[in-house]
Each structure stands twice: as C-alpha cells, then as structure tokens.
Amino acid sequence: MPALQTDIGQRDKLFNLVEARELLPLVQVITNKHHEELSPIRLRLEKMLSNDPRRASVEQQYEQVVSRWRDKIELLGARVSGLWVVEFNVGEGCLSWRYPELYLGSFRTHDKALSDRQNLTDYIEEFDPDWAC
C-alpha cells in the first residue's frame, strides 16, 4: 500500500513533488465533478435579479457545492487557496494547481499572492529544493 493512502485525512500535510503528482489525478477528478455540478447553479445565479426571493436558496446551493469540494480536497491533505485552486504544502511554499490545468506546473512561496505563481520547473532549477527529489 502506498504511503500516500495512509495520509488521507491528515489535513495540511507536507508533500514532496512525487506525492503531489500522485495525488493530482484524484484532485482533478474531484474538482471536475464539482465544477460540473456548480455550472448550472452558477448560470441560474447569473440570470437572476439581485432581489429575486429565490436567490438566497440558489446561493446556498452554490456554497454547499463549493464547501463539499473544499472539504474533500482538505481531507487529502491539500489546501484550497481559491475557487478551483489547490495547493500542496512543501514547507517553503506550495505546489499550485488551478482548474483546468493539465499538470502540476506552478510554485508559490507562502508570502506571495496566487497571481505570483512561478513556473515549477524554473523554481526547481534555480533553488534545487529537497522536496523535488
């Protein structure tokens, strides 16, 4: 049994690059499912007037889908840093993935904003971090 499976349920664990890459396909499946579930709800909200009495109920449905997604991702030990943004803590920062990216290709130090994500390959080549081995 891979060690990663024994860590499920450990919130905000420390990952290495191999562990994060192994977990990414599951993160993508979970995210895709919830993204698809949220799409019709988002469309309904966009078409509603702000004073529509049904709006609160639809907003609650929206929040429930996002909350279920976040809970599942966090149970895997990863962090949710925004809607459809998942990060894997490596200590000095996070390996960062944003739906619908195909692979784990970004890195962000803890003190930087999501908009400041760096190319993962460039970061590894420059700093040669232990977690990339």
DSSP output for 14-67: ---HHHHHHHHHHHHHHHHHHHHHHHHHHHHHHHS-TT-TTHHHHHHHHHHHHH
Whole-number Å distance between alpha carbons of 61 and 55: 10
Give me the pLDDT at residue 1, please.
34
pLDDT along the chain (133 residues), means of 10: 51 91 98 98 96 96 98 96 97 97 97 96 96 92
Give me the pLDDT at residue 133, please.
84
Give me the pLDDT at residue 102, please.
97
Whole-number Å distance between alpha carbons of 70 and 112: 21
100 preceded by a cis bond (ω within 30 of 0): yes
Give me the pLDDT at residue 29, please.
98
Report domain extents, the chain: 13-132
Token output for 104 = 């784990």
Give me the pLDDT at residue 35, please.
98
